């Protein structure tokens, strides 16, 4: 049987790739927060950015390793390493090259209302020096 948190994560990825803001709004909590390598996003700015296409689609070349899920009552913390292509060079320029790097990802899922697991927070970071910083 698949973990309910992994099912929630799978749904999040499908909604992300479909740019389905209505779907995402059901999967993330009201106080959702995302930290990535460029800037932090609260729920409103994340959903707005998603509808504007500011986030890249999940690459089919992503390879996940070292995934761990730890449960603490109605909260679960998922950590993993994702090897995936990352665009290098100034943001907004066309045809930037992609370099495969390991991203460190942490996600916090909660089930506080009994309606299923939802994503409360996510943090994605790169190891120092993995790729040149975007300009």
Domain CATH code at residue 9? 3.10.450.50
Domain assignment of residue 105, yes or no = yes
* pLDDT in single tens digits along all 135 residues of the chain: 457 777 888 888 888 888 899 999 999 999 999 998 778 999 999 999 999 988 777 766 778 889 899 999 999 999 999 887 777 777 677 787 878 888 899 999 999 888 889 999 999 887 766 555 554
Q: How many domains does the chain have?
A: 1
Domain assignment of residue 131, yes or no = no
CB atoms within 10 A of CB 28: 22
Which tokens hold the place of 134? 């975007």
Q: Residue 84 belongs to what domain range?
A: 4-125
Which tokens hold the place of 66? 């070292």
Edge-to-edge order in the sheet of strand 63-72: 40-42, 28-35, 118-125, 98-110, 75-87, 63-72
Domain assignment of residue 132, yes or no = no
């Amino acid at each position: 049987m698949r973990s309910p948190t992994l099912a929630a994560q799978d749904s999040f990825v499908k909604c992300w790739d479909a740019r389905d803001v209505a779907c995402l709004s059901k999967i993330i909590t009201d106080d959702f927060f995302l930290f990535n390598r460029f800037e932090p996003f609260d729920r409103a700015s994340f959903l707005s950015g998603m509808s504007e296409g500011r986030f890249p689609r999940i690459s089919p070349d992503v390879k996940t390793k070292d995934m761990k899920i730890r449960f603490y009552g109605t909260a679960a913390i998922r950590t993993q390493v994702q090897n995936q292509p990352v665009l290098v060079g100034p943001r907004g320029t066309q045809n930037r090259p992609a370099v495969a790097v390991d991203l460190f990802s942490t996600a916090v899922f909660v089930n506080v209302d009994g309606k299923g697991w939802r994503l409360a927070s996510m943090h994605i970071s790169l190891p120092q020096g993995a790729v040149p910083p975007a300009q």
